[in-house]
Amino acid sequence: MTPAEAGLSAEEAARRLEVHGPNELPEEPRTPVWRRVLQQLRDPLILVLLVAAALTIATGDLSDAAVILLVITVNTVVGVVQEVRAEAAVMALSAMSAPAARVVRDGEERSVPAAEVVPGDLVLLAEGDIVPADGEVQAAALLLADESSLTGESVPVEKAPDGDAARGAVSAGTVIVRGHGGVLVTATGADSALGRIASLMGAAPGLTPLQHRLARFGRVLAVVIMALCALVLALGLVRGQPVELMIVAAISLAVAAVPESLPAVVTLALALGARRMADRHAIVRRLPAVETLGSVTVIATDKTGTLTEGRMAAERLWTPHGEATAVGTGYQPEGAVVRDGETVTPGDAPDLAALLRVALLCNDAALEPPSDNSTEWRALGDPTEAALLVAGARLGLDRSALDRELPRVEEIPFDSGRKRMTTVHRRPKGGLLVACKGAPESLLRPEVLADDPETVTRAATQAEQLARTGYRVLAVASADREPSAEPPRTWESELSLLGLVGILDPPRSASKTTIAACERAGIVPVLITGDHPLTARAVAERLGIASREEEVTTGERIREGTAGDLTGVRVYARTTPEQKLDIVQAWRGAGHVVAMTGDGVNDGPALRRADIGVAMGRRGTEVARQAADLVLADDNPATIVSAVEEGRRVYANVRRFLLYGLAGGTAEILVMLLGPFLGMPLPLLPAQILWINLLTHGLPGVALGAEPVAPETMRHPPRPPEESVLGAGLWPRILLMGAFLATVTLAAGIWARETGRPWQSMMFLVLGATQLGVALGSRARPGTLANPFLLVAVGAALGLQAAGVYLPPLQDLLGTEPLSAGDFAVACVLSGLGHVVMRLQARLRPERPPRRVAARARGR
């Protein structure tokens, strides 16, 4: 036994473990709870509320200060709890990439934790093993590795000790799908290919579009409120009002003008969205990510395992007598073979039966049925060979019966030089059957086939056409031999061509409808993969991402600088993790909000760099899950569309509340500014302003955050990322509605004063009631029982508003007087005007899709 074959000694392995550290990726440090709380409190609107709370405490208004602090506390707790719960859910999905490894130590085979593998170790690999570290292949027997999680390449790669750099090395995190071998470890942990990719994910996620918009809004709102309150204070002092009264009035107006329920509305809407997403098996890791999806203008998606099933399927069958298609799902050996629109059996199509019979015999794979640990059929061995087994089963062939009828007696294994595999089987009545399959260029040759040149030419043309459409093509041939016979070197000659099989990683059933829904919503879908350009183009065409005429940009062109504008195409092939970062950044630099979906290690950096990363939960790697904002626990891409809809619902509800809340605040400011000029020295007392604010911005305001999604939401393009939260005509609507509410309130006050009624109490009741009417008019689906919480909240608030006029304890607190039944009826009628005008405004000025983004989406 050589030193290499004996492996490291236990002492040397321990020493190297001390030097190189454990074979683990550096864990992302957990965010402590106190830091999460501070992140929640840094929101500009929360800061405005904290100032308002301090002012109310300074004036002795402890009840209103308590309400404001309660809103801040609830907002913070909900945000922190959601983040912690999401992190726990992702950890529950996570599993170590390779929990154990077989190594040779002191000349003996041992099983050690993967974390203890060190450079220089001799690791033994077999079918089904996850490679624990980077290494060089020392010995191999039919060794085949699935590297799709690292490279995006859907076809497994043969490994051999005498191969080139790609064939002679294995990488951590890849999976052995066939054969066995020994590997000398060259890099572990952060030094491995897995670690180098993970190191690209250092950038922390930035603010979401909604957070940017609300931050700008909070700063502007703070300045405007301070200016208006200073104006109210100055006007009161000029009119000779007591200084203390006007200071309290100005502070009360400031508190009333701040939509303190906005953080609660946003948090409730996001939390409801997160809960709905959880019901759809999507885990939201960061609460604002729900809204970010609603702002997405570009969805960049990986191919293998994301848009596709991540498994091979023998789909196209060709023989010299005709073509057929095998249909079914996954590796489940159920489905059908269809020719000319009809399902066929071996008896109906003897040419297809002969083709697939030989493909099943010349095959080393197996299919594993569902078990306790898996609900799906799995491939054991080469996925390409497993696909042939499935196609045979769908025609009605029985692999076990064939093996019993035609037992294998000899074989010539596949190797990359010959690019074919041959097996020899004993016939029941004597004689041998030679079964051969391989790449068309290795089989469609005169020294291999005995067929006429015309048949070979037809087959070569068909193979080229299948390859151009993204299929991996296998040719299948056979021959009968006498048992006496020829030496093995003659087995692969004088064969008869049976046909071709086109194999592809098929798109998921939900992928095409997902892409179509994105297109309808004005979102640009792009495909970024490490797979072959022809395969990438074929999948993109099938799913409607790109047409046949559109260009495919490759990683080589990006590296050479000849790719041009990276936002000018929709399909990118043969890309590296670094190039995926460049592509995502190019779209972001062009002003887009980018979502990235993926499942592999190679997708991790792009998932982190994108505005929102979406990872697959089942097939997805740990690196991808930790980099993502949203994890699809069921790997269903259709969930992304639901998430976009949820995000748009959140943003629409935020704007709905802002229209309602700021219109009320505007009305209160206008009443306080204009009232003195109409003979009302102090239109409303500070306590009355705060009471109205508490009732209208309290439960009814928060309830607006639970409004359902409006019809046609997913038929509008996303809003421009740079658009203000009050953009698209919301400011004029706020001012118009605020002016209407102020006019109605002042008119009621003037009428009451001129007729000898308690005018201040009348204004108090009307201003609160009309705002509540606006809340009812703001519903996304009026005339339905959707969001009953809003109906209950408005009813309760109206009751409390009336109680402020009629209950003696509240009369003393608020300085009100009781109104007659007739006056109360007038106030109720006026409150209905708020509802009517809000509905009219919604009809006359509906939410319109932004033209520039719509045009940009269509132009891609």
Catalytic residues: 302
Nearest to 192 by CA among 121, 128, 92, 139: 121
Please give the structure tokens belonging to residue 854: 């719509």
Q: Which amino acid is at 636?
A: N
Nearest to 359 by CA among 334, 378, 384: 384
DSSP assignment of 115-145, as one string?
GG--TT-EEEEETTPBP-SEEEEEEEEEEEE
SS3 of 105, please?
A: strand
Nearest to 351 by CA among 328, 373, 309, 323: 323
Tokens 């891609």 found at: 860
Angstrom distance (rounded) from CA 678 to CA 190? 74
Please give the structure tokens belonging to residue 471: 């299929």
Element (H, E) at 33: helix 33-41
Angstrom distance (rounded) from CA 563 to CA 582? 12
- Contact between 835 and 774 under an 8 Å Cβ cutoff? The reply is yes
Please give the structure tokens belonging to residue 415: 């190797």
- Contact between 656 and 778 under an 8 Å Cβ cutoff? The reply is yes
SS3 of 172, please?
A: coil
- Contact between 323 and 312 under an 8 Å Cβ cutoff? The reply is no
Beta strand pairing call for 366-368 and 313-319: unpaired
Q: What share of the chain is helix, strand, coil (3-state, %, to 5)?
A: 50, 20, 30
CA distances from 430 to 145, 291, 406, 410 (A): 38, 71, 10, 15
Find all residues with CB under 8 Å of 275, minimum gap 6, and list them: none
Angstrom distance (rounded) from CA 385 to CA 364? 7
User: If you ran DSSP here, which 8-state letter would residue 819 be given?
Assistant: P
Angstrom distance (rounded) from CA 837 to CA 839? 5
Instruction: Give long-range contacts, CB 8 A cutoff, 24+ apart: 104-110.
Output: 104/5, 104/6, 104/7, 104/8, 104/182, 105/7, 105/8, 105/9, 105/10, 105/13, 106/6, 106/7, 106/9, 106/10, 107/1, 107/5, 107/6, 107/7
Angstrom distance (rounded) from CA 746 to CA 740? 10
Q: From the centroid of its chain, how far is CA 829?
A: 48
Find all residues with CB under 8 Å of 11, minimum gap 6, and list them: none
